[in-house]
Structure 1
């Protein structure tokens, strides 16, 4: 019954997402598309950290690489499937190489978080220093701190670029497909091993499972999903800059996952959308500092609701029937 309800809910979300642009203003479509794109990024960390148990503080690195890879490939090869494949493959390959050295090198989880965050900051400084005309990949100028502008938008087979409504619908499809794909993967043998490694890495290793390989697969798939989110971001704004690798961006992803619920897939998505909406509204006034609010929210959930909103709500709903059974009317 639970799986049926989940499937029904995903179908309802997909239908609502596909129909929503017809009833929304253009500005609202742009705004909510940005929220949903960041939700793809939150989903990638929900998989890597929540399901795989890998504390990655630098998920923004793969998001940014996906955005820059799309920009470079779209300018050089055109905004088609080749550029889309490059935007997914580049961050996945980077995650695979980085993960190989971390996991087969048996680096502690805490240091993995530090390394991934350091890599993000290195990429930020590296891209930020490419402002000269000599810094180009083919016909694509990297632009340094000014970023890359005029990035081609993903086009239909006939060459017509996707309009904002189409990008909104595509993002909804990516989120729903991502949830379904992760759920199905976790039911396979590699997915079950990933859960076992998260629960008790030592026990999984003693049972004969290749812990390093399992972590590497999870980390690589999470990097690919984050890269896809970055690709959508570059399509949404036709612009990308080094700030996509910033420390603030990396911190926000962690907050989204903690607030929504680390062990779930839906929770981080809802937490991401809710916090982005709230910070956008707070940003329109000058009374309260947005980063201060995010810090207070993080402290509150870590201390008071460490499991996150969605697990807390699910726990309360499970208790109600049992309470009625113990105290019949």
Structure 2
């Protein structure tokens, strides 16, 4: 009940904030929500599927490029949005099939996903010539693809969404994905996925196809990351090979570690908070923002390995138990 009320409050804020905030603040908050959607995708794959993917930026970048190429060729953003979800999801399914059905261990899986991300980064950097194009869309190499048309009303390219409406669409997408994943995790499929995370061998002995479940989780996470990449391309009307960068992959993992594995809301909260902090630190020259981010990561790994939200939940539970114990220990009036 509490998550539903929280989502209702979030939906209310998404609906009214564009009319309260100035344009710069609104655009900043918009990119925070886009990255929160990306953090949500890894929170699902790693936190519940137990799949440590270092290449979530690969799906993010594929979604951004798929949308850019699609909308530049079609003109209407309706089908390119679906393309931006389908391409990374299918790419994740192809990768996952060879990794999970090939018996690749978790450590090598992380190395493979990271290697694929770096390969995509180098490949896209090498497409700067005029011969590198898909239809009418020039890939641009390290210069990227500029002037990407933003979202329009479905099947009506003449009605382009304003920044206020785009913020509401992105916020709505984040809320819907969060609710959808919570519903999925509450289902029989989700319970099996968590059981596989806890003990894959035992789940397999009980008759569940662990490889298929992990493949579905990996593909869903890739599709959500692709949607985030699509929305990122809309936010800046630009995409470059930097979306496949190593720093991008590392940031996503940090968001999940800080927010807490095994939760969906924790990484969202950590992503928004850390992005706001990095933006504030970027306004000054005294303290290096990368150093601060590294210190935060070390603090959580060493002192709060479960992450922010689970640690707060444990602390709140202990306080509640102590208060309950102290209340029950107080003699009631008239008691002997």
Which band: TM-score by shorter chain?
A: over 0.9
Structure 1 stretches of at least 4 aligned residues deviating more than 4 Å after TM superposition? none
Q: CA RMSD in A?
A: 0.9
Residue 63 of structure 2 contacts residue 87 of structure 2 at CA under 8 Å; is this kept in 1? yes
Greater C-alpha Rg: 2
Equivalent residue number for residue 217 of structure 1: 216
Are 2:39 and 1:42 aligned?
Answer: yes
Residue 64 of structure 2 contacts residue 239 of structure 2 at CA under 8 Å; is this kept in 1? yes
Classify the secondary structure of the residue corresponding to 1:160. Answer: strand
How many Å apart are 1:318 and its aligned residue?
Answer: 1.6
How many Å apart are 1:295 and its aligned residue?
Answer: 1.1
How many residues are matched?
A: 326
Residue 63 of structure 1 contacts residue 228 of structure 1 at CA under 8 Å; is this kept in 2? yes
Q: Over residues 180-206 of structure 1, what are the superposed CA-to-partner deviations in whole Å (9 max), with x where a residue is unaligned?
A: 100111122222211111111111111
Equivalent residue number for residue 183 of structure 1: 182
Equivalent residue number for residue 275 of structure 2: 276
Residue 128 of structure 1 contacts residue 145 of structure 1 at CA under 8 Å; is this kept in 2? yes
Superposition TM-score, scaled by structure 1 size? 0.97
How many Å apart are 1:171 and its aligned residue?
Answer: 1.0
Instruction: List alignment gaps of at least 5 residues for structure 2.
Output: 331-336
Moved more, 312-321 or 14-23: 312-321
Q: Over residues 3-62 of structure 1, what are the superposed CA-to-partner deviations in whole Å (9 max), with x where a residue is unaligned?
A: x12211110011111110000000111111011100000000000000111000110100
Equivalences for residues 1-329 of structure 1 within 5 A: 4-157=1-154, 158=156, 159-328=158-327, 329=330
Cα distance in 2, alignment partners of residues 245 and 13 from structure 1: 30
Instruction: List alignment gaps of at least 5 residues for structure 1.
Output: none
Cα distance in 1, alignment partners of residues 25 and 140 from structure 2: 29
Residue 78 of structure 2 contacts residue 152 of structure 2 at CA under 8 Å; is this kept in 1? no
Residue 75 of structure 1 contacts residue 140 of structure 1 at CA under 8 Å; is this kept in 2? yes
How many Å apart are 1:253 and its aligned residue?
Answer: 0.4
Superposition TM-score, scaled by structure 2 size? 0.95
